[in-house]
Chains A and B, each alone.
Chain A
Amino acid sequence: MGYFLFFLLAALCVGSVLGMIISKNQAYNALFLIPAFASLGGLFGLLEAPFIAVVQIIIYAGAIMVLFIFVIMMINVQKGVPPEKKKWTLYLSFGLAVVLVIELAVALKAAFTLPVSTETLKAGPVNLGRLLFTKYLYPFEITSILIIAALVGAIVLVKKKEQE
Chain B
Amino acid sequence: MIPPNYFLILSIILFVLGVIAFFIKKDLLTMFMAVEVMLNATNLAFLSLARSANSIDGQVIVFFIITVAASEAAVGLAIILLVLRQKKTIKTEDIKLMKG
Contacts and interface: CB of A to CB of B under 8 A. Distances in A.
A71 B12 contact: no
Interface in A5-20: 6, 10, 13-14, 17-18, 20
Interface of A: 2-3, 6, 10, 13-14, 17-18, 20-21, 26, 29-30, 33, 36-37, 40, 43-44, 46-49, 51-52, 55-56, 59-60, 63-64, 67-68, 71-72, 74-75, 81, 84, 89-90, 92-94, 96-97, 100-101, 104-105, 108, 111-119, 121-123, 127-128, 131-132, 135-136, 139, 143, 146-147, 149-151, 153-154, 157-158
**Which 7 pairs show the lowest CB-CB distances between chains A and B?**
A150-B71, A93-B23, A117-B54, A157-B78, A154-B78, A114-B52, A154-B74
A96 B23 contact: yes
A134 to B, nearest CB: 11
Contact of B33 (A18, A33, A74, A96): A33
B24 A29 contact: no
Max chain B Cβ within 10 angstroms of own Cβ: one of A2, A43, A118, A123: A43
Contacts of A2: 1-2
Given A52-B62, A97-B20, A114-B3, A128 B77 contact: no
Interface string B18-36: 1111011111011011001
Interface residues of B, number: 68
A59 B40 CA distance: 12
Nearest to A159: B78
18 contacts: A17-B17, A17-B18, A17-B21, A20-B30, A29-B33, A33-B33, A33-B37, A46-B7, A52-B62, A60-B69, A64-B70, A64-B73, A96-B23, A97-B16, A112-B8, A115-B52, A139-B64, A154-B75
Q: Give the most central of B14, B24, B47: most A CB within 10 Å.
A: B47
A98 to B, nearest CB: 9
B60 A131 contact: yes
Nearest to A63: B70
